[in-house]
Amino acid sequence: MTILLTGGAGYIGTHTCVALLELGYDIIVADNYINSTPLAIDRVKEITGKNFKSYDVDVCDIPGMERVFEENKIDAVIHFAGLKAVGESCAIPLRYYRNNLDSTLTLLECMQKYGVRNFVFSSSATVYGTSQNMPLDEKEPTGCTNPYGWTKYMIEQILRDTAAADPEFSAVLLRYFNPIGAHESGLIGEDPNGIPNNLMPRILNTAAGKMKALTVFGNDYPTPDGTGVRDYIHVCDLAEGHAAAIKYAVEHKGAEAINLGTGNGYSVFEMIHTFEEVNHTPVPYTLEPRRPGDIATCYASPEKAEKCLGWKAKRGLAEMCRDAWNWQQKNPNGYKA
């Protein structure tokens, strides 16, 4: 089976490439490298010892994407390509709606034209908005608080409507919680453009001395230690969840939203202390007011993923912290020389 991964050179894309290659799938990557680099593709080949085609193409580029489908027999698509910074989406919403929706519509029209009917979509727990009913399950009402989240919400609806119109179409909408960590080799990992927003990249910058101290956004939340609680999931567990989703998509029809989370919530302080303990490296921090838009607690019900995909996260917080630091130490400037 041949799987096309759009955005396959990105953080979750590269880890999913490794997981699929190691399971014996053939893969093709389509990426415009706006938030990634061809070096990441070389690292995937180094890890797996396998070769595969990659296309430097924007998924919004209709002729460019039709060439990918013309030149290859594609059995399924995993769609990672998209802009994904919450704060940036508030500053330039039209760029987010144009890019994320246009690329998805182009991809789906190509799939229809070339008879490809299996689709796995990189959705996000952000579609649950400010819901407080923890653990979050897939029946929870959805609604977003930022343009990035609304693009995910709208694409989920596009996929449901496509499945309703085409009984042969199959789509799995994977709602990621908080992916962190890196492949144990330290050859691939998260390489945010510019100053990162998320907790783990900022912990890594602090531990590496690039930031004087981590800012802890609020310790007055209604949580055990007052700091924000999230469902952190090892990126390799997430990648394996995509492989399970491909299998499910091929064996089923219709559109199915499925959480990819561990079902465990960890606070910012728990993350800091685990990181320091595992890596014997201090993470100095300062307490700051809450970050606008943050919620106190967010973690998944992993039941549907286990029932439908036969998948459950295996790696714990210590392994996430160890593997993240290993990537940072081996690549102090990410993929940049």
Chain positions contacting ligand WQD, by CB under 6 A: 84, 86, 124, 126, 176, 178, 197-199, 202, 214-217, 228, 230, 268, 291, 294
In angstroms, give the least distance from the CB of 101 to ligand WQD.
16
Taking the C-alpha atoms of residue 119 and residue 309, their distance in angstroms, rounded to an integer, is 15
In angstroms, give the least distance from the CB of 64 to ligand WQD.
26
Angle at 50 between CA 10 and CA 182, to 5 degrees: 35
Q: Which is nearer to ligand WQD, 8 or 218 (CB)?
A: 218
In angstroms, give the least distance from the CB of 284 to ligand WQD.
13
Q: Which is nearer to ligand WQD, 110 or 305 (CB)?
A: 305
In angstroms, give the least distance from the CB of 1 to ligand WQD.
27
Angle at 113 between CA 111 and CA 116, to 5 degrees: 35
Q: Which is nearer to ligand WQD, 54 or 126 (CB)?
A: 126
Exposed/middle/buried for residue 314 (C-beta within 10 Å: 0-12, 13-18, 19+): exposed
| 44 neighbors 20 (Cβ within 8 angstroms) | no
Is residue 148 among the annotated active site residues?
yes
Residue with the shortest CB distance to ligand WQD: 228
Q: Which is nearer to ligand WQD, 111 or 173 (CB)?
A: 173
Q: Which is nearer to ligand WQD, 267 or 279 (CB)?
A: 267
Of 148, 232, 248, 285, the active-site residue reads 148
Q: Where are the alpha helices (DSSP H) in the chain?
A: 11-22, 38-48, 62-71, 86-91, 93-113, 147-165, 199-207, 235-251, 268-279, 303-304, 317-330
| 240 neighbors 311 (Cβ within 8 angstroms) | yes
In angstroms, give the least distance from the CB of 214 to ligand WQD.
6
Structure tokens at 9: 């050179």
Q: Strand 229-230 to strand 266-267: parallel, antiparallel, or no bridges (unpaired)?
A: antiparallel
DSSP state of 308: I
Q: Which residues are catalytic?
A: 148
